[in-house]
A = this chain, B = another copy of it.
Amino acid sequence: MTESNSSKSNPANPEKSGTTSEEVVLHLRGMVQRGELRPGDRLPPERNLAKSLGVSRPTLRAGIRSLAAVGVLQSRQGAGTFVVGADGPPSLDSSPLRLMAALHGFTTREMFEARQSIEMAMAGLAAERASGDQMASMAEELAGMYASLDEPEQYLVHDMRFHQSVAAASGNRILTALMNMVATILLDVRSKTVKRAKDLKESAEMHRQIYRAIRDRNPEAARDAMRDHLVLAQKAQESEEPDNDLTTRAEQNGDDASKSA
């Protein structure tokens, strides 16, 4: 059933659900889910793969692009197409959520609330499960925050990494991925907010409370501390930028890949 000649009807698959390129997507997804393609692997060249699947190269490329758009594949000109996902913490592309926010007019209030809900849950889980290394990672970032109270940008980095550490300690990579999705969008807004030193001190203190609660294996306290922290962060945010719509927010996101702690 390669090409077999008559390019007209597709002999092999008459009842194919959708368009040919969709079929390609399903095929590739199947290869990934079946384990034939492992993270980091390189796909066969487009020309070969197209022939082996019995489709044209543009069609194959359409399928590849669909999977690339959702972050499963990544193509590099001259090098090849690779399966991603091996290296860093699992992370879903935030573009879909961002677009949906624009389409439906989501407010930053909802964003904060979503983030708050997820991070509270993760803080509680982290308090139950965090390993020694994970505790150390959190403490390290906490120290970094205190060490950069006069350097807002640097502080923000440690802030984010602290939350990443908590997420990792929660032991739930799905919640972690979802949190990253939401947090990435909020970051665009927050990065413009130049905090005052006093706020940073206050923020660091709240993070410290979160850490202590987790260290003490107290889920409820961890949840409360995380809630207080995010509520305060939201208030600080809102005071600087009263209107919030997310609809007309221009963004220039480079999908980052911050190393995990």
Residues of A within 8 A of B (CB): 17, 19, 21, 29-30, 32-35, 38-39, 58, 61-62, 65-72, 77, 83, 85, 90, 92-93, 95-104, 106, 110-111, 113-114, 117-118, 120-122, 125, 171-175, 177-178, 181-182, 247-251, 254
A100 to B120, CA, bound (A): 23
> Do A113 and B69 form a contact, CB below 8 Å, given A39-B103, A118-B118?
no
Complex contacts, A93 vs chain B, CB 8 Å: 70, 96
Q: Contact at B70–A96, with CB atoms within 8 Å?
A: yes
> Do A102 and B174 form a contact, CB below 8 Å, given A69-B70, A96-B93?
no
Q: How far is the CB of A3 from chain B (nearest CB, A)?
A: 18
Q: How far is the CB of A19 from chain B (nearest CB, A)?
A: 7
**Can you report 20 A-B residue pairs in the complex whose CB atoms are below 8 A from each other?**
A19-B77, A29-B95, A33-B98, A33-B99, A33-B249, A33-B251, A39-B103, A65-B69, A66-B66, A70-B96, A72-B99, A85-B104, A101-B174, A104-B173, A106-B174, A110-B172, A113-B175, A114-B174, A114-B175, A117-B122
Complex contacts, A68 vs chain B, CB 8 Å: 66
Complex contacts, A106 vs chain B, CB 8 Å: 173-174
Q: How far is the CB of A92 from chain B (nearest CB, A)?
A: 5
Complex contacts, A33 vs chain B, CB 8 Å: 98-99, 102, 247-251
Interface of chain A, main secondary structure: helix
A222 to B248, CA, bound (A): 36
- The complex is assembled from copies of this chain, and their number is 2
Closest to A73 in B: B99
Complex contacts, A21 vs chain B, CB 8 Å: 65
Closest A-B pairs by Cβ, 10 of them: A117-B121, A69-B69, A66-B69, A70-B96, A33-B102, A114-B174, A85-B103, A72-B99, A114-B175, A110-B174
Q: Contact at A32–B99, with CB atoms within 8 Å?
A: yes
Closest to A185 in B: B174
Q: How far is the CB of A188 from chain B (nearest CB, A)?
A: 12
Q: How far is the CB of A74 from chain B (nearest CB, A)?
A: 12
